[in-house]
Amino acid sequence: MLALRHYELLVTLSEELHFGRAAERLGISQPQLTLVLKQMEELVGATLFERNRRNVSLSATGALLLPEARAVLRHAARAENVALRAGQGVIGELAIGYIGAASYNGVLTKLLSSYRQVAPDTRLRLTLMDLDQQIPEVEAGNLDAGIVRLPYPNRPESLTFRTLRQERLWIALPLGHGWAGAVDGVALSDLAGEAFIGTHLPSNSGFSASMHQACANAGVIPDIVHRAPQFAAIVSLVAAGLGVAIVPESIRHLSIPGVVYHPLKGTEVTANISLVYRTETENPSLEVLLSCLEEVVF
């Protein structure tokens, strides 16, 4: 069976038509070139080059084989390129989970746009998923990375968390609320006794932890009358007049009739979005994603 070196020899010698120059290009001695050519002609069962002391020329068989030899080398180079790019993480597959808020605050858009510039051929598998679902999936290796809202209790030691953004807290109020027309923000102490709409997470997880911390700092015990898993649903309940809701700043860009947004005054608590991934990873595509983080953190 012909090997890659045989095709390289055929193409190179057909271009040079000189044994010395062809051997030099191939990085072998002239006797080695002659030996390999002899082996090739024995495998083919025909003479590939007509040669004498003065001239070297392709035989009829050699001329027929030359286009195929060029194609073999072209495909081999392409295969090598694919292998190298796969090893560098610029092709392959990357599975990412993300919370809905990441699509509102620009984190998801910036991260994926930056990644696409360096790895346009990677197959991205994106899944909208809550924090409490993402962490186990990343730990199990079903997701390469997740975009989550911290904190998360009992974080697995096998995972790394890197903060992407810290968001201020705002308040969403029904349009007819007494503080809806506030000019310079609303303090949580002004909302004591109000009905609150919260997320479905416990008070020590994700955005719920930020909300409860801010309330505790202000001496307010929120009366949570409704819960919802997504901020779009939470804000819709606010619009219906069912309560008020503490939300991350980016949610103010969610335009739902009947709702007004104001910054919360007097609190330093933030809601942090982070990238989570396994510390020990074997996916080169994830390494490329991590190299893009400097352009995303804000």
CB distance 239 to 229 below 8 Å: no
**Predicted pLDDT of residue 86:** 57
**Predicted pLDDT of residue 210:** 95
**Predicted pLDDT of residue 88:** 55
What letter would DSSP give residue 290? H
Cα 185 from Cα 241, distance rounded (Å): 20
Q: Please give the full DSSP string across 193-207, using - where no structure is assigned.
A: T-EEEEESS-TTSHH
Pairing of strands 195-199, 223-228: parallel
What letter would DSSP give residue 270? -
The pair phi, psi for residue 152, each rounded to 5°, is: -140, 120
**Predicted pLDDT of residue 202:** 93
Q: In the block, which residue shows the tokens 């939470």?
A: 234
Q: In this predicted model, what pLDDT tens digit does every residue of 85-138 receive, in sequence order?
A: 556 555 578 889 999 888 888 888 889 888 888 888 888 889 998 888 899 999
Polymer length of the chain: 298
- Residue 187 to residues 183, 219, 261, 295: CA-CA distances in angstroms? 12, 11, 13, 34
Specify whether the backbone of 147 is left (phi greater than 0), alpha (psi in -120 to 50) or beta. beta
Closest by Cα among 288, 293, 292 to 85: 288
Question: Which residues make Cβ contacts (< 8 Å) with residue 124, sequence separation at least 6?
Answer: 93, 94, 96, 112
**Predicted pLDDT of residue 214:** 96
Query: Is the preceding peptide bond at 67 cis, omega within 30 degrees of 0?
Result: no
Q: What share of the chain is helix, strand, coil (3-state, %, to 5)?
A: 45, 25, 30
**Predicted pLDDT of residue 232:** 92
Q: Which two tokens stand for residue 240?
A: 């219906």
Cα 175 from Cα 44, distance rounded (Å): 85
Q: In the block, which residue shows the tokens 């560098």?
A: 88
The pair phi, psi for residue 164, each rounded to 5°, is: -105, -35
Query: Which amino acid belongs to residue 170?
Result: W
Q: Rounded to a whole number, what is the largest CA-CA distance in the chain?
A: 104
Q: In this predicted model, what pLDDT tens digit does every residue of 57-93 receive, in sequence order?
A: 888 888 888 888 888 877 776 666 555 655 655 557 8
| Domains of the chain with CATH codes | 4-88 (1.10.10.10), 93-165+273-295 (3.40.190.10), 169-269 (3.40.190.10)
pLDDT along the chain (298 residues), means of 10: 84 88 90 89 88 84 86 71 57 85 85 86 88 89 92 90 93 94 91 94 94 95 93 95 95 91 94 93 84 70
The pair phi, psi for residue 114, each rounded to 5°, is: -65, -40
pTM attached to this predicted model = 0.68
